[in-house]
Amino acid sequence: MSGTRLEGRSAVITGGGRGIGRAIAEAFAREGARVVVAARTEAQIEAVAEGIRRAGGEAHPVSVDVTSDDSVTALVSRARDLLGPVEVLVHAAGVYRPNRFLDYTMGDWEEIVGVNLLGTVRVVRAFVPDMVARGWGRVIPIASTAGKYGSVLQSAYNASKHGVVGLTRCLGLELASTGVTVNAICPGFVRTEMIDEALPRMAELIGADDVAQVEAALVSRVPLGRLLEPDEVAHLAVYLASPESEAMTGQSLTISGGLIVA
């Protein structure tokens, strides 16, 4: 471990088993935070935690289903036992299911909104009281550029992420006097397992010959000329978790290689 920007801080990262969540857990640990890595897939979070420990950091894997009140309550209790009061929460758990609006079932909507938006509400509600009681905390939901604009073939995902952006604005204002800040990160196209898994379905929906054609179409929309890497998003999360971001709350910060500039 090499940095000190988060030295001694206690942090929980949901969705920490892969992609952006994993990168954030590893970045926090490098900066001195003690982390709980939480997600549904135990093998993934155990691998992430073990890697952090091998590098000299402190990490604990805890399984969680963010759609379950009981599971989230158990996560809070276990995190307290392992770390003491949790000071930083990153909610990176999410699902992405591209489809045409009329082809989404209500079950699809319930799953996507249930994880992406209501999962955020459930997890934040569970952790914020301890932060308010201590007079200090950082809440960092992972939203998306999809929460700032409209697009085809992902109405459920966009709607859920618009909700996360709106929630961030409201909580930033409501908690401002308590010492707890709330700032979302809105990544654009990031090279993660989630994107890799969605590419075949996107190719099918638009009639593309293969996934390489779809990826090239995505990249063509990014002025930077490439997909982002998870570590680049993690750098922003470190800033938002650090004392350097003290004066910022209620914001949804875009990191997209210029995909959108709002």
The verdict on residue 5 lying in a domain is no
pLDDT tens for each residue of 152-182: 999 999 999 999 999 999 999 999 999 999 9
Range of the domain at 100: 10-189+229-255
The verdict on residue 38 lying in a domain is yes
Mean of pLDDT values over 51-67: 98
Task: Tell me the whole-structure pTM to 2 decimals.
Answer: 0.96
Mean of pLDDT values over 230-249: 97
The verdict on residue 170 lying in a domain is yes
Q: Is 96 among the catalytic positions?
A: no
Integer angstrom CA distances of residue 100 from 104, 152, 195, 205: 6, 7, 17, 8
Cβ atoms 174, 159 nearer than 8 A: no
The verdict on residue 206 lying in a domain is no
The verdict on residue 216 lying in a domain is no
The verdict on residue 3 lying in a domain is no
For Cα atoms 19, 38, 164, give the angle at the middle one, nearest 5 degrees.
70
The verdict on residue 205 lying in a domain is no
Instruction: Report the CATH number that the domain containing residue 123 is assigned in CATH.
Output: 3.40.50.720
The verdict on residue 208 lying in a domain is no
Catalytic residue among 104, 149, 157, 239: 157
pLDDT tens for each residue of 110-148: 999 999 999 999 999 999 999 999 999 999 999 999 999
Strand partners, 35: 11, 59
Total domain count for the chain? 1
